[in-house]
Amino acid sequence: LSLDIKGFNNVLVLFLAQSLFGILPLSHPDNAITVDRYATPLHIVPEWYFLPFYAMLKTIPNKTAGLLVMLASLQILFLLAEQRNLTTLIQFKFAFGAREYSIPTIWFICSF
């Protein structure tokens, strides 16, 4: 146990030295480039799941309006998730209402 704590402390000291004092040979040279906050660098490509939001922000020139459109699209997604049919919920509840399978299923899931 004491060797684990010593190893953890050594790694923690290395990480703190890197982050606080900025040991440059371990760093990537692109990290030293000054940043333009209002322009995305050309080498940065958004991930596929951000592409719709990235397109919304790029096509609308006003940044506040783009943000509002992006938030409205998220609100529409949440509203679509809230559309529930009461009869299907009741049928689903009764279909899985029996509890004789639940304890073995929970033990099976927890065994992994």
Domain ranges for the chain, please list them: 1-33, 39-112
Nearest to 66 by CA among 77, 51, 84, 54: 54
Task: Name the pTM for this structure.
Answer: 0.40
Give the tokens for residue 12. 């923690």
1-51 pLDDT, tens digit each: 788 889 999 999 988 887 787 666 666 777 677 888 888 777 777 777 788
Give the tokens for residue 50. 């951000």
Over residues 74-89, the mean pLDDT reads 69
Distant-in-sequence, close-in-space partners of 66: CB < 8 Å, separation ≥ 6: 56, 57, 59, 60
State the pLDDT at residue 95.
52
State the pLDDT at residue 99.
62
Distant-in-sequence, close-in-space partners of 3: CB < 8 Å, separation ≥ 6: none
State the pLDDT at residue 65.
92
State the pLDDT at residue 72.
92
Give the tokens for residue 105. 């299923």
Taking 70 as the threshold, does the pLDDT of residue 96 lie above it?
A: no
Q: Which residue has the tokens 């190893």?
A: 7
